[in-house]
Amino acid sequence: MSEETRSETYAELASVGPYGVRPGHALITMVEPHPGHEYAYNRWYEDDHYYAGAMAMPWMYAGRRWVATRELQDLRGPEKSAVARPVTAGCYLSTYWITEGRYDDHMKWTVGINKRLNRDARVHQERTHVFTAFQDHETTVYRDGAAGPRDFHALDHPYAGLILQVIDSEGPAERSELLERLRTRDLPRRLTGSPAAMVTIFRPTPLPGDRMTYVKQVEGVDTRLTLLWFLERDPRECWTEHFADLETLGAGAGRVELVAPFIPTVPGTDRYVDELR
């Protein structure tokens, strides 16, 4: 394909299809660098992969990295998690928003670019994907109603912390019931007076068959909900008062399989790397 033809294709693709700002989809990926490779992993991800493997792609319009120091890992639950084994696994979390209606377009690009990165030896191998899934947005519940940042601002607003929560239900019908209960009852009550400004809720989608072999297929496609709690305070400062009992959220309608607090990384630095173990 000539350079001129490629340029024309870009113009054509940009002129059709949805191009709103709503985060209709997300990539949520929790990764554990192998012991002894923490600094190398952090530099690779920040200096190369965050951009070449994510933000430079079409329709992925916002991203943020988070880290769990050992102190934050020790706050996690439940002890026997279906997501993280052991529950402390996965000290780095990356979250990305994808434009609503552009999931298929983005996936074609991401599979292609990751094959290229792998072929060009630009993929750090000393790591394990603990929880990596593309997800469809279900709803966002706000503490302050129409006031304050919206969910499409969430990865750019300087939130001081984030909690990743995963809840499993028995089946698709039960998940729908759980979602409605969270949206209308449990989350509005929990957010009132809380340092959490919003909770976004997603459901996982299966990865394509031609995904990278080091990323396992997504579990719980029909039964799981993923919640992201965006905090205005460091979770270590308010955990006992506000979040220590999150394992009981949705009790009777679902099983909480992970509650994991994080704080934002400081881009371009190795801050917190020496606090992971």
Q: Is the pLDDT of residue 273 over 60?
A: yes
* Distance, CA of 102 to CA of 275 (rounded, Å): 38
Which of 54, 39, 143 lies closest to 91, judged by CA?
39
Pair 250, 199: CB distance under 8 Å: no
Average pLDDT on 7-20 reads 89
Work out the angle at residue 237's Cα, subtended by the Cα atoms of residues 234 and 240, and round it to the nearest 5 degrees.
Answer: 120
Q: Is the pLDDT of residue 154 over 60?
A: yes
* pLDDT, position 203: 96
Mean pLDDT of the chain: 94
Average pLDDT on 251-271 reads 96
Q: State the pTM of this model.
A: 0.94
